[in-house]
Chains A and B, each alone.
Chain A
Amino acid sequence: MNVTVTVNGQETTHDVEPRLLLVHYLRDVLGLTGTHWGCDTSNCGACTVWLDGLPTKSCTCLAVMADGHEVTTVEGLGEDGALDPLQQGFVEQHGLQCGFCTPGMLLTGRWLLNHDPDPDEATIRLAISGNICRCTGYENIVRAVRWAAEHPDGSGSGDGAAAGADITQEATA
């Protein structure tokens, strides 16, 4: 059946099986592989995207349920090629290691900041408690969200600036 979904601002229409999961629609049909498939049971949050602006686990959501709705993935974060301050915060605070949970964490964290621009540690921990990270022990993810709250314009700390500079160059290339 046909589904029409606005993904990262672009409207797309595809003929899909009714059983196709949203995560596989995004990954296999649209080629947006930043959204990851981690557990099938809504526990890990690696597949978190926004459905009409609300964090949603796309492994337990059918593509047809997104018909007529808006989806935002990690590829849709940031504007004009620049990093979202939260993406920069993850770099600055070493909020990622293997990077597999990162897209889901970013979408959850950005949603939190949009609704609470200055969250305290307890609020951040509660917000990301549906996203599992196996590498960081969460500490630096909390710090990354705090960094983004404190740097709403996303300007880097200047500490080890090369990685940040590389990112900017890649983003504008």
Chain B
Amino acid sequence: MTTTDAPMADVSRSPGGNPLGFGRMLRKEDARFVRGHGTYIDDVNLHGMLHGAVLRSPLAHARIVSIDTSAAEAHPKVKAVLTGAVLETLGLAWMPTLSGDVQSVLATDKVRFQGQEVAFVVAEDRYSARDALELIDVEYEPLPAVVDARRALDPDAPVIRDDLEGRTDNHIYDWEAGDEAKCDEVFRSAEVVVAQDMIYPRVHPAPLETCGSVAHMDKITGKLTMYTTTQAPHAHRTIYALVAGLPEQKIQVISPDIGGGFGNKVGIYPGYVCSIVGSIVTGAPVKWVEDRSENLMSTSFARDYHMHGEIAATREGKILGLRVNVLADHGAFNGVAQPTKFPAGFFHIFTGSYDYAAAHCKVTAVYSNKAPGGVAYACSFRITEAVYLVERMMSCLADELGVDAAELRMRNLLRPEQFPYTTPTGWEYDSGDYPRALREAMRIAGYDELRAEQAARRARAAASSTAESAGGAAAEPLMGIGVSFFTEGVGAGPRKHMDILGLGMADGCELRVHPTGKAQLRLSVQTQGQGHETTFAQIVSHVLGLPPEDIEVIHGDTDNTPFGLGTYGSRSTPVSGAAAAVAAQRVKEKARLIAAAALECSPDDLEWELGRWFVKGDPEQGKTIAEVALASHGSLELPEGVEGHLDASVVYNPPNLTYPFGAYICVVDVDPGTGVVKVRRFIAVDDCGPRINPMIVEGQVHGGLADGVGMALMQVIAFDGDGNNLGGSFMDYLLPTSMECPSWELGQTVTPSPHHPIGVKGVGESATVGSPAAVVNAVVDALQIRHADMPLTPAAVWRATQGRPLRPDLAIE
């Protein structure tokens, strides 16, 4: 691995050998995981627990004529059978989505996608619950399905959401950003305009652990304890209170170890609600854990954006304008998880890393007979789609102008002196040095040498193709080099701009230093593998100098942590990490007052060194944080206005997002005979500000790069013309293995965020956001064509070489 501008090495070490603050530190959480002692949702077993299973619709669109549950109810091990009719009596047949729509919990009138929840069985064991599903007789009246989003607004399209009063079509919203008139003017006078259609196909995050819950309603205390796979336990608690009318103080949401989330575990699924109702009805704890097909067919998908992009430029390659029209397929319910004011998420950051005279985007969203969702899979609220669009358009423009793809980007990247930079659609980028990151990626890649190798190969291929016509050898692989540059906006977000269902996107944090100097840090966010138990201890250590092994991070339990909106959109470090840093800073300042009292001097006479306040000019006279902690709990007379104990409670409202960025280069070899794409190399230079734990940051980037390769080359949730899901198992929904992934080559630059208390930016989704365009750009470069839609399977590559690069028919193939 190559690095540049690494943050200053912190050589101070704790007694346990860990860095006091930033630096490589092995993870605290690994001790349980490598032994198989993690506690995931299916490992939660309560006394007397029953098991739930969901009956799902086999059809994409159908009216329910009747449901007969009598045979299931007669099953000796069945304790309860729930249907939409049962839930209707409780007012729970429908629930609000995170986008202000409603979603069916159990279908009452129609089914609207294949895999939709129709009934719920509670039985003594998981096999009996599944058996009983077979005994439920549902009569359906099939209806024509809307599968192709491009047909959803046709006048004769069947109306999917006839449950909504007055609804006569499948239109959800139109949303736009930027200055359309100014943009049109720029385009009218531009020397060069390049247009391109592209689809970002429907994919699924597919965490290795599926979704599930164990609900326990204690009828005596009236308390609901809800163990569940959630990235946002506090938001779930509030929503359960609102949906079910349960008193919020009697709801405890516990998110145990999460086997991967990637946005799949942000929303509330019908199975969760059914497990709660099942527990209320039976009086026993009820576990529900979906299987893989249920996960892929019914839980939050990602993307499904049909995009038309246009870029305007001068003949010399100075870009002038960018505009895009999007048709967004939201599925049967608008269940998108994003800040309320932004129905298309943060897609309007689509101008990316470049400067323009004008830009404009318009998004039209429609219902279809597919599963709901849309914002998931490490997308940073649709920035994935935005980066893919702009980075494809830049490569299309490079192709049009005959300019090298890296050179065109270098000419147009925002310059360091332009920061803070306000984009044409209103984002204020906090900090960046983009050319430096691109130069670094090109240096690691050996970019000029790669282009020279490519030219030599092409010359050889041209010569051998002449020879081949005279009976020469088979063609060698086609080499392609793809470049992408991304800017993300992460850390949602400022409360005045961003909320979800009216809940502002701030996060709380509590730090308590115990009398012995050991600390507990309570977080509102919830790790799904990001290593919060380690990283957040390092944040506190960085400020207070306490050994990170002495700081216990507590999270994932609403009874024992302060309120906050959870972990998604790369927001944990930008928001909750800031809260932790501020809490530590407040403890440090309180410690100064108490140390001064103990040392019988003025606080102004004290000076700080990591972990200790001491008297200026007399370093022997001082108090460590641990000594202050003991004094704060003891009999020391405290100064006026200083309370006992050493702790702090913070709610952090971020003033802006943080804007990580990066430059990626992908090298592929495409077999011209089979269309198989082999990723030879992948170079990723990320700038997320100072790295709290470089080992963890690199791990986050590695995982995102694998996601990018997967989406670019193999992953897609496709449907046939009847709306049957064609990606309902891992046999059909292909994920990258160790064989498809190269050995990642990482680099970094460090540009701190000016507004974050410790200068850090989010990084969890950077590589997923930035990498797909690099892979596609590389394949397109190898094939020497303008564009080809993802996923670039061998068949898709072959089609692209036959002049059929677009996959708008993807959904109905």
Is this pair of chains taken from one and the same complex?
A: yes
In the assembled complex, the CB of A98 is this many whole angstroms from the nearest CB of chain B, namely: 3
Q: A98-B258, A137-B706, A162-B549 are in contact. Are A125 and B27 (CB under 8 A)?
A: no
**A7-B704 Cα distance, complex, nearest whole Å:** 37
Q: Is the CB of A160 within 8 A of B706?
A: no
Q: Which stretch of B202-210, B474-482, B596-604 is in the interface?
A: B202-210
* A58 within 8 A of partner (CB): no
Q: Is the CB of A132 within 8 A of B737?
A: yes
Interchain Cβ contacts under 8 Å between A and B, 14 examples: A91-B26, A94-B27, A97-B703, A99-B259, A134-B262, A142-B738, A159-B24, A160-B17, A160-B23, A161-B17, A162-B14, A163-B18, A163-B27, A167-B31
* A5 within 8 A of partner (CB): no
**A130-B209 Cα distance, complex, nearest whole Å:** 17
Chain A, range 144-170, C-beta contacts under 8 Å to B: 158-167, 170
Give every chain A residue within 8 A of B18 (Cβ-Cβ).
160-163
Most buried by A among B34, B208, B259, B547: B34
**A103-B33 Cα distance, complex, nearest whole Å:** 8
Known: A17-B127, A102-B36, A126-B739. 20 other contacts (CB 8 A): A33-B43, A36-B208, A38-B209, A40-B293, A78-B35, A88-B34, A90-B30, A94-B27, A98-B209, A131-B738, A132-B208, A134-B260, A134-B735, A135-B529, A138-B738, A138-B741, A139-B744, A160-B18, A161-B18, A162-B549
Chain B, range 129-175, C-beta contacts under 8 Å to A: none
Q: Is the CB of A40 within 8 A of B38?
A: no
Give every chain A residue within 8 A of B33 (Cβ-Cβ).
96, 99, 102
* B292 within 8 A of partner (CB): yes
Would you call the interface of chain B mostly helix, strand, loop, or mixed?
A: loop
Q: Is the CB of A136 within 8 A of B208?
A: no
Q: A132-B737, A135-B529 are in contact. Are A94 and B292 (CB under 8 A)?
A: no
Chain B, range 696-723, C-beta contacts under 8 Å to A: 696, 698-706
Give every chain A residue within 8 A of B270 (Cβ-Cβ).
none
In the assembled complex, the CB of A67 is this many whole angstroms from the nearest CB of chain B, namely: 19
Q: Mark A34-69, 1 if CB is under 8 A from B, else 0.
A: 111111110110100000000000000000000000
Q: Is the CB of B703 within 8 A of A134?
A: yes
Q: Is the CB of A40 within 8 A of B26?
A: no
Give every chain A residue within 8 A of B447 (Cβ-Cβ).
none
Most buried by A among B26, B549, B705: B26
Q: A100-B209, A134-B207 are in contact. Are A164 and B737 (CB under 8 A)?
A: no
**A131-B698 Cα distance, complex, nearest whole Å:** 21
Chain B, range 735-753, C-beta contacts under 8 Å to A: 735, 737-739, 741, 743-744
Q: Please count the residue pairs between chain A and chain B whose beta carbons lie under 8 angstroms apart in the complex.
A: 217
**A59-B489 Cα distance, complex, nearest whole Å:** 41
Which chain A residue shows the least CB distance to B745? A139
Residue of A39, A121, A163 near B730 (CB, 8 A) is A39
**A20-B125 Cα distance, complex, nearest whole Å:** 12
Q: A98-B528, A99-B33 are in contact. Are A160 and B25 (CB under 8 A)?
A: yes
Which chain A residue shows the least CB distance to B705? A137
Q: A19-B127, A160-B25 are in contact. Are A34 and B703 (CB under 8 A)?
A: no
Q: Is the CB of B208 within 8 A of A101?
A: yes
Closest 6 CB pairs of A and B: A34-B36, A162-B16, A98-B529, A99-B33, A100-B259, A161-B17
Which chain A residue shows the least CB distance to B210? A38
Interface size class of B (residues with CB under 8 A): 35 or more
Chain B, range 328-373, C-beta contacts under 8 Å to A: none
Which chain A residue shows the least CB distance to B743? A139
Give every chain B residue within 8 A of A74 (Cβ-Cβ).
35-36
**A19-B301 Cα distance, complex, nearest whole Å:** 32
* A75 within 8 A of partner (CB): yes
Q: Mark B247-268, 1 if CB is under 8 A from A, else 0.
A: 0000000000111111000000
Give every chain B residue within 8 A of A96 (Cβ-Cβ).
30, 33-34, 529
Q: A41-B731, A129-B737 are in contact. Are A134 and B35 (CB under 8 A)?
A: no
In the assembled complex, the CB of B281 is this many whole angstroms from the nearest CB of chain A, namely: 23
List B residues at the A interface (Cβ < 8 Å): 14, 16-19, 23-40, 42-43, 125-127, 206-210, 257-262, 291-293, 528-531, 534, 547-549, 695-696, 698-706, 729-731, 735, 737-739, 741, 743-744
Give every chain A residue within 8 A of B17 (Cβ-Cβ).
158-162, 165
In the assembled complex, the CB of A113 is this many whole angstroms from the nearest CB of chain B, namely: 15
Which chain B residue shows the least CB distance to A87? B34
Q: Is the CB of B259 within 8 A of A36?
A: yes
Q: Is the CB of A140 within 8 A of B14?
A: no
Which chain B residue shows the least CB distance to A31? B45
List A residues at the B interface (Cβ < 8 Å): 17, 19-20, 24, 27-28, 32-41, 43-44, 46, 73-75, 77-78, 83, 87-88, 90-92, 94, 96-103, 106, 121, 124-126, 128-142, 158-167, 170
Most buried by B among A39, A91, A103, A131: A39
Q: Is the CB of B26 within 8 A of A160?
A: yes
Residue of B127, B259, B699, B704 near A140 (CB, 8 A) is B699
Give every chain A residue within 8 A of B210 (Cβ-Cβ).
38
**A90-B698 Cα distance, complex, nearest whole Å:** 15
In the assembled complex, the CB of A154 is this many whole angstroms from the nearest CB of chain B, namely: 12
**A126-B262 Cα distance, complex, nearest whole Å:** 26
Give every chain A residue within 8 A of B735 (Cβ-Cβ).
43, 132, 134
Give every chain A residue within 8 A of B530 (Cβ-Cβ).
97
Which chain B residue shows the least CB distance to A156? B26
In the assembled complex, the CB of B301 is this many whole angstroms from the nearest CB of chain A, namely: 16
**A46-B43 Cα distance, complex, nearest whole Å:** 14
Q: A38-B208, A100-B40 are in contact. Are A139 and B741 (CB under 8 A)?
A: yes
Q: Is the CB of A40 within 8 A of B291?
A: yes
Q: Is the CB of A40 within 8 A of B292?
A: yes
Residue of B28, B37, B549, B698 near A34 (CB, 8 A) is B37
Give every chain A residue within 8 A of B30 (Cβ-Cβ).
90-91, 96, 99, 163, 167
**A109-B198 Cα distance, complex, nearest whole Å:** 41
In the assembled complex, the CB of A128 is this many whole angstroms from the nearest CB of chain B, namely: 5
**A94-B731 Cα distance, complex, nearest whole Å:** 28
Q: Is the CB of A166 within 8 A of B549?
A: yes
Which chain B residue shows the least CB distance to A124? B738
Give every chain B residue within 8 A of A166 (Cβ-Cβ).
16, 28, 31, 549
Give every chain A residue within 8 A of B42 (Cβ-Cβ).
27, 33, 36-37
Q: A91-B34, A97-B699, A166-B549 are in contact. Are A40 and B729 (CB under 8 A)?
A: yes
Most buried by B among A24, A73, A165: A165
**A39-B209 Cα distance, complex, nearest whole Å:** 9
Give every chain B residue within 8 A of A136 (Cβ-Cβ).
699, 702-703, 706
Residue of A27, A135, A167 near B703 (CB, 8 A) is A135
Q: Is the CB of B26 within 8 A of A125?
A: no
Give every chain A residue within 8 A of B40 (Cβ-Cβ).
33, 36, 100
Give every chain B residue within 8 A of A124 (Cβ-Cβ).
738
In the assembled complex, the CB of A2 is this many whole angstroms from the nearest CB of chain B, namely: 18
